[in-house]
Structure 1
Amino acid sequence: MTTSSELDARDCVVVTGASTGIGAASARELARQGFHVLAGVRREQDAEALRLPGIEPVILDITRADHIAELTARVNARTGALRALVNNAGVSANAPVETLPLDEWRRLFEVNLFGHVAVTQALLPTLLRHSGRLINISSVGGKIAMGTFGPYGATKFALEAVSDALRREVAPLGVKVVVVEPGGIRTKMADRGIAVTNQLAKAMSPEHQDRYGPLVQAVTAQTAAFTTKGTSAEDAAQVISKAVNARKPRTRYTIGRDAALLTRLTRVLPDRMLDRLVAAGLRPYWPKTAAPSLKQAADRA
Structure 2
Amino acid sequence: MKSSTETQKLVVVTGASAGMGASAARELARRGFHVLAGVRRDRDADALRATGVEPVMLDITESEQVAALAARVADDPRALHALVNNAGVQVNAPVEVLPLEEWRRVFDVNLFGHIAVTQALLPALLRAGGRVINISSIGGKYAMATYGAYAGAKFALEAVSDSLRREVSPLGVQVVVVEPGGIRTEFATRGIATANDLAARMTPEQHERYGGLVRANNALMASGTASGLTADAAARVVAKAVTVRRPRTRYTAGRDAALIMRLGPLLSDRALDRVLAANLRRHFPKEAAVRPAGAAPSRG
Shift in Å, 1:99: 0.6
**Letter of the structure 1 residue corresponding to residue 188 of structure 2:** A
Please name the residue that 2:261 is paired with.
263
Give the corresponding residue for 1:3: none
SS in 1 for 2:282: helix
TM-superposed CA distance for 1:193, in Å, is: 0.7
Query: Which residue is equivalent to 2:207?
Result: 209
Aligned to 1:165: 163
- Cα distance in 1, alignment partners of residues 124 and 68 from structure 2: 14
Contact in 2 for aligned 1:231/1:255 (Cα 8 Å): yes
Q: Which structure shows the bigger proportion of residues in helix conformation?
A: 1
Q: Distance in 1 between matches of 2:81 and 2:247?
A: 14
Question: Contact 2:280–2:292 at 8 Å: present in 1 too?
Answer: no
Distance in 1 between the 2:164 and 2:92 partners? Answer: 28
Q: Tell me which stretches of 4 or more aligned residues in structure 1 moved more than 2 Å.
A: 294-301
- TM-score, normalising length from structure 2? 0.95
Q: Which amino acid aligns with 1:298?
A: A
**Superposed displacement of residue 190, structure 1:** 1.4
Aligned pairs for 1:84-233 within 5 A:
84-233=82-231
Within 2, Cα distance between the matches of 1:55 and 1:296? 46
Distance across 1 between alignment mates of 2:9 and 2:60 = 22
Offset at 1:291? 3.0
SS at match of 1:291: coil
Whether the 8 Å CA contact 2:145–2:294 is kept in 1: the answer is no
Question: Which of 8, 11, 14 is matched with 2:9 structurally?
Answer: 11
Structure 1 residue 298 and structure 2 residue 290: aligned? no
- Which stretch of the first structure deviates more once superposed, 8-17 or 86-95? 8-17
SS at match of 1:298: coil
Shift in alpha-carbon separation, 1:100–1:297, aligned structure 2, 3 A = closer
Paired residues, number? 295
Secondary structure (helix, strand or coil) at the match of 1:22 reads: helix
Q: Deviations over 1:190-246 (max 9, x none)?
A: 111111011111111111000011111111101100001110000000000000001
Return the letter of the residue paired with 2:275: L
- Identity, in percent, stands at 63
Task: Tell me which amino acid in the other structure corresponds to 1:25.
Answer: S
Please state how far the C-alpha of 1:9 moved relative to its aligned partner.
7.0
Partner SS, residue 178 of structure 2: strand
Q: What letter is aligned with 1:155?
A: A
Contact 2:277–2:292 at 8 Å: present in 1 too? Answer: no
Question: 2: CA distance between counterparts of 1:52 and 1:188?
Answer: 22
